[in-house]
């Protein structure tokens, strides 16, 4: 990504954060926490705290201003901040369906599936296409739960109500290695399509850069 693209992305995230904070302030904090699987605490007569886990890290958001704190008190990135707010805003409280879906099977996802593959699946193929042991080590070291699918597969709890499953097939003389990323079909009730890409991309790069 060149400097101009990075500036555009930064500007778009700034706008998204501003709009998300406005929506967040209008919602009932206790209701949002319950729907999203977070924890709510009244900090004062005017402020509430919502604790929520994103990719294994716990964050605390302040209602109504939308401020945020990380466990180590470091500055939280814009993208993570926006995703946390959007998840709280959109969470529907619907139970998991336990039916796995590809991104292209999510309503509207077929239009952006090529973008999804490039940004979410390709980083892992580039990192571990010929290294299944590296994929396994990265998944286990990043909190993945091994599941029985493909040659290797791990499920990650991205948000309390959003599991993401990574499936790895080893290459052979006939077919190259491949990676598929699947979601519980209920994800459409918790995040918009664009945020699903951003969330999955964050996890993919976390895995791709493991111990690099």
How is residue 141 written in tokens? 């070291």
Task: Give the residue from 88, 90, 78, 91 showing the smallest Cα distance to 17.
Answer: 78
How confident is the model over 155-167, as pLDDT tens digits?
999 999 999 999 9
Instruction: Enter the pTM of the model.
Output: 0.92
Tell me the two tokens of residue 166: 């990574």
List, for residues 6-57, the tens digit of each pLDDT value.
665 777 889 999 999 999 999 999 999 999 999 999 988 889 999 999 999 9
Structure tokens at 73: 């008190």
The first and second tokens of residue 5, run together, are: 């693209």
Asked if 171 contacts 129 with a C-beta cutoff of 8 angstroms, the reply is yes
């Amino acid at each position: 990504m060149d400097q101009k693209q990075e500036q555009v992305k930064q500007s778009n995230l700034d706008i998204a954060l501003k709009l998300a904070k406005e929506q967040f302030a209008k919602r009932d904090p206790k209701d949002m926490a319950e729907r999203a699987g977070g924890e709510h605490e009244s900090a004062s007569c005017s402020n509430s705290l919502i604790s929520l886990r994103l990719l294994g890290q716990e964050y605390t958001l302040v209602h109504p201003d939308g401020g945020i704190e990380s466990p180590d008190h470091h500055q939280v990135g814009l993208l993570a901040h926006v995703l946390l707010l959007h998840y709280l805003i959109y969470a529907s409280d619907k139970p998991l369906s336990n039916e796995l879906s590809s991104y292209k099977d999510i309503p509207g996802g077929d239009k952006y599936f090529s973008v999804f593959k490039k940004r979410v699946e390709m980083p892992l193929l580039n990192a571990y296409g010929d290294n299944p042991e590296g994929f396994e080590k990265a998944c286990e070291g990043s909190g993945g739960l091994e599941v029985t699918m493909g040659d290797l597969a791990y499920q990650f709890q991205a948000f309390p109500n959003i599991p993401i499953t990574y499936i790895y097939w080893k290459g052979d003389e006939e077919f190259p290695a491949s990676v598929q990323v699947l979601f519980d079909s209920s994800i459409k009730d918790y995040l918009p399509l664009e945020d699903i890409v951003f969330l999955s991309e964050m996890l993919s790069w976390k895995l791709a850069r493991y111990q690099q």
